[in-house]
Structure 1
């Protein structure tokens, strides 16, 4: 696999553009007409149509009430099979740590640019401070900056790639990611059980607890003077296994593609995490019983926004394919075997592209 060493064009920080008080965004951030969010539109595709994706109280799993346990499992199963998105409360992480994590990263993104640029990333690993996904020259870019880092496996964890400021940020990141891994491991057991499998089967298919990947991408969306022309993150389904998102509750901006192809803005519950299924669990393991759904992010003219996305992924070189236990005569394997390393190379080179990659891996009938 070829590894691209550098970006095809000089990097421009979107935050710098936003803070320069420009009235019109540069052309390279203007989306084609068909991809624009139609913020001023009142038709059925109006992105300000809102929905409350299922809010699931995970506390129901840790009670002696068998009926409540079964109800909670059923709610998760239904969300995974129908919408691919749900929110969780009573998830085990303290609200204090959630708030600390957001505050720390907001402080990082408001550091002087020369300090942030000390952590500038490259397409070789994407670790560090970045402003674009994909290396296609001349691509239309998203209105966002980000910071990406690895937490596990231990062979990929490199504290020198983590920010050194603000003070104590590495301790907070460590605590946050540790709790994220616990939540992901619990959810993997639940997803396995709901598929009628042994509870460790999905985790083992990922390469086991020690080798499964855990990484954090903190997305920063600066104010945008022309939000009707741009997107903070283009339509895509997540290439990995599970995503746990800590959103900015002050500004609703995450949109999911509905069953009628309309974009629907997600209403946020206080101190909830948003969980969504990634492509590896949809295609390679559940054989499309669970759904990995397209989503995107809109931007705002008056408010900046920040979110923390924790990705829980298979070990990069483990062959991933539909589990034999889920194949039947009526439902044969829908997708070809691949590895996560090969799969994510698509988004790392071309950027977010709807569900193009998953379609290319469909098994010929």
Structure 2
């Protein structure tokens, strides 16, 4: 793996949460206790009838219904930053195989999973993400992270061969979701009056990572968090919700709204949009273009991937569209659109009785890419954010993981 990728990660070793949850805890260890939850009165009940928008990909691809559905899609991006995607076209067989193999991996004995444990200064492997100090509050979760694209960056040391079909399942899953993602990005371009390649081309040399999350139940669930409130630093995120247990929440108007999964749908999170200097000639056209992130993905759909706009597929450079997951983030878009599209905070809460599993897939441009506001918006309102190197942006994002509310302030002018 390249030095650039390695330098962005690294995590101090901590106790395994799955093993900890299996003991007779009289209380939660202090490092997991979130005192802010004691005054957490801004959570909307799951019985509330307010739900995030639902978008139908088959209607986006249908000439008769595309106009209305594109309008709904644009509104969802502006008002929520999240939506659920129906009829996406990934086969039930591929989804179910990925789910089963992931569940089987987390059922392995701890010592066997540790074979694929994180190494110093590496973002990959089994453990907990981005633990930077001994004082840092910890998340009630374990994870296994893999770099899947570019292929040359794959480190098979971290790819389990038990279950025996695990590697094949991850490979197939990531490729199929990529097709859906690129399709959606192309449709976004169409919605902006652009050729699809205007938005898809910058991702030809992207970095893709897949993060498998295991959130054990906790009898003291009102004291812990599975995922700290944050806005993702990736451009595209997709989360496949593996076992239909609620936990994902998004923040809107100061309230935390639970994302209630629809069977067979992706929960899509509008993530960061990146602008490359090599696209100077396109700046005048891109009035706040964005790329989305799918957040919590759940089952299957009926729209075949082949129905999406065609593109040239190069397995060595083409990104996998897993950040569709389903849910993983939107910080960059705030810089890129000069503040027009806002970063959406989200978090994961813990169920007192049931485990929760999810798969998040992230897509990023090359480490050397430059992020900057779109020129059209700068002309109208003046630049509100600095131009920043992608590598610097990611490093700052990781270092500020537990302080996402003030993260973007570092880039304001």
Give the TM-score, by structure 2 length.
Answer: 0.78
Instruction: Give the superposition deviation at 1:89.
Output: 1.2
Given candidates 90, 101, 106, the residue that maps to 2:103 is 106
Separation of aligned partners in 2, 1:330 and 1:320: 19
Instruction: Give the superposition deviation at 1:164.
Output: 1.7
Query: Residue 254 of structure 1 contacts residue 266 of structure 1 at CA under 8 Å; is this kept in 2?
Result: yes
Instruction: Give the superposition deviation at 1:108.
Output: 0.5
Separation of aligned partners in 2, 1:119 and 1:228: 31
Instruction: Give the superposition deviation at 1:227.
Output: 0.5
Assess, with a 3 A threshold, how the Cα gap between structure 1 residues 36 and 177 changes in structure 2: closer, same or farther. Answer: farther
Query: Residue 209 of structure 2 contacts residue 362 of structure 2 at CA under 8 Å; is this kept in 1?
Result: yes
Query: Residue 186 of structure 2 contacts residue 197 of structure 2 at CA under 8 Å; is this kept in 1?
Result: yes
Counterpart position of 1:24: 27
Counterpart position of 1:322: 373
Assess, with a 3 A threshold, how the Cα gap between structure 1 residues 63 and 194 changes in structure 2: closer, same or farther. Answer: closer
Counterpart position of 1:84: 81
Aligned residues: 350
Assess, with a 3 A threshold, how the Cα gap between structure 1 residues 231 and 192 changes in structure 2: closer, same or farther. Answer: same
Q: Does 1:287 align with 2:281?
A: no
Counterpart position of 1:266: 259
1:24 partner SS: coil
Counterpart position of 2:186: 189
Q: Does 1:348 align with 2:398?
A: yes
Deviations 1:259-296 (A, max 9, x none): 1x111111110021111122445124333333330000
**Mapping of residues 62-141 of structure 1, within 5 Å:** 62-65=61-64, 68-122=65-119, 124-141=121-138
Assess, with a 3 A threshold, how the Cα gap between structure 1 residues 354 and 237 changes in structure 2: closer, same or farther. Answer: same
Query: Residue 134 of structure 1 contacts residue 347 of structure 1 at CA under 8 Å; is this kept in 2?
Result: no
1:228 partner SS: helix
Separation of aligned partners in 2, 1:73 and 1:123: 45
Instruction: Give the superposition deviation at 1:187.
Output: 2.1
Query: Residue 8 of structure 2 contacts residue 394 of structure 2 at CA under 8 Å; is this kept in 1?
Result: no
Deviations 1:13-60 (A, max 9, x none): 10010011313110000012x24584xxxx553564654211111001
Counterpart position of 2:298: none
Deviations 1:216-241 (A, max 9, x none): 11111001121001100010011111
Assess, with a 3 A threshold, how the Cα gap between structure 1 residues 197 and 122 changes in structure 2: closer, same or farther. Answer: farther
1:25 partner SS: coil
Q: Does 1:299 align with 2:350?
A: yes
Separation of aligned partners in 2, 1:116 and 1:226: 26
Q: Does 1:219 align with 2:205?
A: no
1:149 partner SS: strand
Assess, with a 3 A threshold, how the Cα gap between structure 1 residues 347 and 109 changes in structure 2: closer, same or farther. Answer: farther
Assess, with a 3 A threshold, how the Cα gap between structure 1 residues 361 and 5 changes in structure 2: closer, same or farther. Answer: closer
Given candidates 143, 146, 166, the residue that maps to 1:146 is 143
Given candidates 274, 290, 310, the residue that maps to 2:361 is 310
Give the TM-score, by structure 1 length.
Answer: 0.88
Separation of aligned partners in 2, 1:146 and 1:227: 19
Q: Structure 1 stretch 111-120 or stretch 96-105: which is displaced more?
A: 96-105
Separation of aligned partners in 2, 1:47 and 1:361: 35
Deviations 1:85-125 (A, max 9, x none): 01111111012221221121111011011110011114623
Assess, with a 3 A threshold, how the Cα gap between structure 1 residues 36 and 192 changes in structure 2: closer, same or farther. Answer: farther
Deviations 1:190-235 (A, max 9, x none): 333334444323334x4x41x1121111111001121001100010
